[in-house]
Amino acid sequence: MTPAIPSAVRLAPVLGLLVLVTIAAIGIGSSFMPPERVVSALIGQGPRMDEVIVWKLRLPRVLLAVLAGAALALAGALLQRVVRNPMASPSVLGISDGAAVGILLFLWMFSDQGNNLTVSVHWQPLAAILGASTFGGLVMALALADRGGNRSLKIILYGIALAALAKAVVTLLIILGPVYRASQALTWLTGSVGAAHWDDVLTLALGLALAAPFLASQRLVLRQLVLDPESAATTGVPLERAQFILLAAAVALTAVATAHVGAIGFVGLVAPHIARVMHGQFRSFYLLSTALTGSLIVLSADLLARTIAPPLELPTGALTALVGAPLFLYLLIKGRRYHA
Amino acid sequence: MPEFMARLSDVTAAYDGTPALSGISLDLPDNRIVAFCGPNGSGKSTALRVMRGLHTVESGEISVAGRALADWSPKDLARQVAMLSQSPQAPSDLTVEDLVMMGRFAHRGRFSGPSAEDVAACGAALQITEMTELKHRSIAQLSGGQLQRAWVAMTLAQNAPRIFLDEPTNHLDVAHAFELLDLIRHLSRAENRSFVIVLHDLNMAMRYADHVVLFKQGAVTASGPTQDVLTEDAVSSVFGISCRILQLDGLDRPVIVSWGKKRG
């Protein structure tokens, strides 16, 4: 770790890579568009046709992947600090699957025979938040009621158990629920950014815009939480309140992302680790670095998902692990040598 | 300036139903070095933890720095009382410098970087604990004694007028233990800081403490000026050992010599 390099400069590689992949992801599709045409369409200098393809068709999907990746990665970073366990993530703790349960119940209760929702689709994120909070809250309540032993390990174990329960409920709801919703529901199992609209992009952007100043204000508290709870408390951290609001923020970020792209796994787990190795977890902009890494993973995964076997589109969630896992392994092995 | 750094009245505390403190009352003087002594499990660490609000009491009243414990906000209390617990933990890739800066949490602005005052307090804490040259090391690269000094530096960086230390001489060799206690005495005399220290070594307590509290089985058996409390009778009855207290030439305080469990 060389403290001489300013934190902002450390962001450059991942930011540069994200810009490149974004341009590539906009250019690649049923009709290929070279990077210079993508850029001129983005800045409004391209032919009308290009601008329609870029702005109407491809940009929402690309931006949705970028925003969802950032939200899930941030949720993962918050959870890892609150739980004090590098294994914590929205999917491990059952929060992602809890959100999926909320969404499926919402679809089940509020759609008619004609496959139309009887209420506005804008209520869907709320259903996701309710599902995610229920499962996240259950995990914490069980861990708190279980006295003694390693609290942070307990949270992970209860999380794994409840995540499995939520997955089972999702599967049952798909099989037992209305048939006409089944295919739509399936996408929430693995996650997809395929059905992106500007509406989704705006909701998610709004969620992140609300989260940003909050996270900036909690940056010192988050850093303090790496200490054992007693040391953190004696330095002046209002421990229980901080843990509660950060947990609530992680649940909300997960729920908003899941409501729009489904339960994309693995991002929340690996993005904070990758950011830690590349950037340093005690430098400023660690959260920003985590968010950018999450964006990069989901965007790359989606790009692969639609180019591996065209015209078939694979679920994005299935590919986040394909992109993230090798990178994660590489960094773990490299990190092991570095520390030896 | 309140007369007492902490007052406990009829405080009872327990861990999962197992009693740890049974109705203790204590007045701890300000601007002094107070040592908590007693056998393992006698309640001295618990007393320290309840005084810092880290453990909830079953009953009783506690006031710290002239105000009831419950009336302090976490940050305000941290500016009044710093504490180093028995086995603090931090991630191994944290550098000494970053660890010490964490002691500044209660003073730092929410959105800004470290102020000149924060940097100065950390620099002074590193200097006084002789950790300046190691500040860029990660804590995984430190020896046990260096690590303990890094935590002490973090506690000092908090710049609180009252400091609680739970067995701070753990992991320190004799020379470094004396160095730390000399430092504590210096901070007490030169800067009027108050200390409460859990100490196992009775000779260290005899030599450095102004005031000693003796604990036995969750109760306070004696509290007062060091030489009034650490008597042959008190030490042998509290610890169940045979001992003599001897005055040696050239030492301003006597030494305690013990030679095993008390018989009969």
Residue B243 Cα, gap to closest chain A Cα (Å): 36
B23 in contact with chain A, both atoms CB, cutoff 8 A? no
Contact between B125 and B157 (Cβ < 8 Å)? yes
- Longest Cα–Cα distance of chain B, Å, equals 65
pLDDT above 50 for B1: no
Q: Which pLDDT score is estimated for A272?
A: 93
Q: What is the pLDDT of residues A290-312, one digit of tens each?
A: 999 999 999 999 898 888 877 77
**Cα gap B217→B215, rounded to integer Å:** 7
Instruction: Work out the pLDDT band at A109, boundaries 50, 70, 90.
Output: confident
Tokens of residue A238, six digits: 């209002």
Instruction: Work out the pLDDT band at A339, boundaries 50, 70, 90.
Output: very low
Residues 6+ apart with CB under 8 A from B19: B12, B13, B218
Top mean-pLDDT range of A84-88, A137-141, A275-279, B104-108: B104-108
Contact between A263 and A96 (Cβ < 8 Å)? yes
Q: What is the pLDDT of residues B113-126, one digit of tens each?
A: 889 999 999 999 99
**Do A1 and B83 lie within an 8 Å CB cutoff?**
no
Give the 3-state secondary structure of residue B166: strand
Instruction: Work out the pLDDT band at A181, boundaries 50, 70, 90.
Output: low
Q: Considering only alpha carbons, which residue of chain A is nearest residue B110? A: A217
Paired sense of beta strands B194-198 and B33-37, if any: parallel
Give the 3-state secondary structure of residue B175: helix
Residue B114 DSSP label: -
Residue B12 Cα, gap to closest chain A Cα (Å): 20
Q: Which pLDDT score is estimated for B7?
A: 93
pLDDT above 90 for A105: no
Contact between A110 and A117 (Cβ < 8 Å)? yes
Other beta carbons within 10 angstroms of residue B200's beta carbon come to 14
Instruction: Work out the pLDDT band at A4, boundaries 50, 70, 90.
Output: low
**Cα gap A264→A64, rounded to integer Å:** 12
Contact between B51 and B27 (Cβ < 8 Å)? no
More confident: B38 or A118: B38
Alpha helices (runs of H) in chain B, residue ranges in sequence order: 44-51, 74-80, 96-102, 116-128, 144-157, 174-191, 202-208, 226-229, 232-239
Count H helices and E strands in chain B, helices first.
9, 12
Across B35-51, average pLDDT: 94
A220 in contact with chain B, both atoms CB, cutoff 8 A? yes
Residue A2 domain-assigned (yes or no): no
Domains held by chain A: number: 1
Q: What is the pLDDT of residues B124-134, one digit of tens each?
A: 999 998 899 99
Residue B11 Cα, gap to closest chain A Cα (Å): 21
Q: Which pLDDT score is estimated for B211?
A: 96
Q: Which pLDDT score is estimated for B36?
A: 96
Per-residue CA distances from B39 to A257, B46, B87, B174, B200 (Å) = 55, 13, 18, 21, 8
Across B234-252, average pLDDT: 91
Q: Residue A333: which CATH number?
A: 1.10.3470.10
Q: Across all residues in chain A, what is the average pLDDT?
A: 84
pLDDT above 50 for A338: no
Per-residue CA distances from B42 to A62, A178, B46, B236, B239 (Å) = 63, 65, 9, 15, 10
pLDDT above 70 for B80: yes
Q: Which of A234-238, A325-329, B110-114 has the lowest mean pLDDT?
A: A325-329
Q: Considering only alpha carbons, which residue of chain B is nearest residue A213? A: B111
Instruction: Work out the pLDDT band at A106, boundaries 50, 70, 90.
Output: confident
Strands (E), chain A: none
Give the 3-state secondary structure of residue B90: coil
Task: Please choose, from the candidates B176, B131, B138, B186, the residue with its C-alpha nearest in 3D space to the C-alpha of residue B157.
Answer: B131
Tokens of residue A212, six digits: 């940003």
Q: Considering only alpha carbons, which residue of chain B is nearest residue A230? A: B54
Task: Please choose, from the candidates A111, A110, A182, A170, the residue with its C-alpha nearest in 3D space to the C-alpha of residue A135.
Answer: A170
Q: Which of A48-62, B82-96, B174-188 has the lowest mean pLDDT?
A: A48-62
Segments forming the whole domain that contains residue A173: 7-339
Instruction: Work out the pLDDT band at A1, boundaries 50, 70, 90.
Output: very low
**Do B105 and A237 lie within an 8 Å CB cutoff?**
yes
Give the 3-state secondary structure of residue A62: helix
Show me where the domains of chain B are located.
1-65+161-232, 89-159
What amino acid is encoded at A301 in this protein? A
Assign domain B1-65+161-232 to a CATH class.
alpha beta
pLDDT above 80 for A252: yes
Burial code (b: 16+ CB inside 10 Å, e: under 16) for B78-100 equals bbbbbbbbeebebbebbbbbbbb
**Do B74 and A1 lie within an 8 Å CB cutoff?**
no
- Longest Cα–Cα distance of chain A, Å, equals 66
Q: Which of A55-64, A65-74, A321-330 has the lowest mean pLDDT?
A: A321-330
Q: Which pLDDT score is estimated for A179?
A: 61
Interface of B with A in 77-116 (CB under 8 A): 77-79, 81-85, 87-91, 93-95, 98, 102-103, 105-106, 108, 110-111, 113
Task: Please choose, from the candidates B2, B42, B78, the residue with its C-alpha nearest in 3D space to the C-alpha of residue B222.
Answer: B42
**Do B16 and A148 lie within an 8 Å CB cutoff?**
yes
Q: What is the value of ipTM here, to two decimals?
A: 0.90
**Cα gap A101→A131, rounded to integer Å:** 6
Contact between A305 and A318 (Cβ < 8 Å)? yes
Torsions phi, psi for A252 (to 5 deg): -65, -45
Instruction: Work out the pLDDT band at B225, boundaries 50, 70, 90.
Output: very high
Residue among A217, A235, A237 minimizing CB distance to B110: A217
Contact between A54 and A39 (Cβ < 8 Å)? no
Instruction: Work out the pLDDT band at A8, boundaries 50, 70, 90.
Output: confident
Task: Please choose, from the candidates A74, A45, A42, A72, the residue with its C-alpha nearest in 3D space to the C-alpha of residue A58.
Answer: A42
Across A26-53, average pLDDT: 84
Q: Across all residues in chain B, what is the average pLDDT?
A: 92
Bridge partners (DSSP) listed for residue B211: B34, B225
Task: Please choose, from the candidates A100, A123, A116, the residue with its C-alpha nearest in 3D space to the C-alpha of residue A171.
Answer: A100
Task: Kindly list the residues from chain A whose CB atom is less than 8 angstroms away from the CB atom of residue B121.
Answer: none
**Cα gap B164→B52, rounded to integer Å:** 8
